[in-house]
Amino acid sequence: MKKVVVLGATGSIGDSTFRVLKGLGPEYQVVGISGGKQLDKLAALAQVWQPAWVGVAEKGDAPALAAQLPGARVVAGEEGLCQLASLPEVELVINGLVGAVGLRPSLAALEAGKTLGMANKEPIVMAGGLLLAAGRAGGGQLLPLDSEPNALWQCLKGEEPGSLARLILTASGGPFRGRTRGQLAGVTPEQALRHPTWKMGAKITVDSATLMNKGFEVIEASWLFGVGVDRVEVVIHPESVVHSLAEFTDGALLAHLGRTDMSMPIHYALTHPNRRPASLERLDLTQVGQLRFAAPDRENFPCLDLCYRAGRAGGTAPALLSGADEVAVAAFLEGRISFLDIAELNRQVLEAQPVGPADSLAAVLAADAQGRRLAAEWIANRIPEGAR
């Protein structure tokens, strides 16, 4: 029996993970789950899956939840997440958390020798070198759950590293593909959250609309597959059927195709290194009809190039950018800045701070905190668009 912990159980990754686990049957046991603000949903999941451990974000929420779940041990905060991620009996940790909060639990899992299924890309963006080093030292293994890096992982299996020419990540283009800067000026949070092909959480959906999410995937792929960011390319693919491609030195391209359903990459990671039958809806190419590809619009969606700049700079630059972006997206969703402000804020923060080495957790967290502080100052000093 494979024992599993699901961090971020109440989010969209958690939903997909539990669908997959239900289909896989009793040979998988859920030992621990964690959630944030959706306490009722977390309690309902715990009552269905009967985990021995449950984690909550706020310490003050723990007593009430513990009263509902007398058979479970309830832990709280970042320390609780790290406890869940390093439980001795657990083999596989699914990280479906959002943002930098997933960094310490990811390190804890890898240091404890766990297999870590990562849908939470910010920790890899911020501290990819530290995570890989933790896996080497502790015997842990990092598996990508995000559809595009997961697709690359599958395309590269069995291939010689020296035969790889480049990696190609596909992007739907988000809900605003084809719009000009003028048309983007008045975009509302509600519009930004209407992704055309994927159902995701609010933060990643906004990042997809700005192309920041795809830029983060460039940095993520660079770490996961050991290539420079300039060997990772992005193409717009509105159908979201081809999830990624790998090109080799002989000119051959291998592509991974599938439905827009996160259950598929999660199923593969859970059953790795084998493939198991899945009751997932199959892709019908005759219904797809056509597959279109185009270059990304870097002028009107500059967040993509900001990620390339941060990836080339290395060190603490990606952590700085990641921290600033979390603050920017939250401010946009709250109506405090505009959609176009997200990229401008991130650009100014990235340019304002010198890059240092990301050689310790303290250095990475300091850069993340600095990015957040500078972003908050930018928002506080921002001149409203109408007054510019």
For residue 230, which of 311, 318, 123 has the smallest C-alpha distance?
A: 311
Full-model pTM = 0.94
User: C-alpha distances in angstroms, 1 versus 28, 84, 92?
Assistant: 6, 18, 11
Which tokens hold the place of 360?
Answer: 């310790």
Give the β-pairing of 53-56 and 253-257: unpaired
pLDDT tens readout for residues 126-164: 999 999 999 999 999 999 999 999 999 999 999 999 999
Output the pLDDT for position 384: 57
Strand order from edge to edge, sheet including 232-236: 232-236, 164-171, 242-248, 253-257
Residue ranges of domains in the chain, CATH in brackets: 2-145 (3.40.50.720), 146-313 (no CATH), 316-388 (1.10.1740.10)
Assign 19 a pLDDT band (cuts: 50, 70, 90). Answer: very high
Task: Tell whether the model's pLDDT for residue 382 goes beyond 90.
Answer: no
Task: Tell whether the model's pLDDT for residue 388 goes beyond 50.
Answer: no
Task: Tell whether the model's pLDDT for residue 385 goes beyond 60.
Answer: no
Distance CA 367, CA 376 (A): 14
Give the β-pairing of 28-35 and 53-56: parallel
Measured distance between the N- and C-terminal CA atoms of the chain, rounded to whole angstroms: 62
Task: Tell whether the model's pLDDT for residue 334 goes beyond 80.
Answer: yes
Distance CA 367, CA 1 (A): 41
> With contact defined as beta carbons under 8 Å apart, do 237 and 171 qualify?
yes
Assign 386 a pLDDT band (cuts: 50, 70, 90). Answer: very low
User: C-alpha distances in angstroms, 228 versus 14, 156, 367, 375?
Assistant: 31, 16, 22, 28
Task: Tell whether the model's pLDDT for residue 249 goes beyond 70.
Answer: yes
Assign 250 a pLDDT band (cuts: 50, 70, 90). Answer: very high
Mean pLDDT of all residues in the chain? Answer: 94
Output the pLDDT for position 383: 59
Which tokens hold the place of 363?
Answer: 């250095």
Q: Which residues pair with 288 in a beta bridge?
A: none
> With contact defined as beta carbons under 8 Å apart, do 98 and 8 qualify?
yes
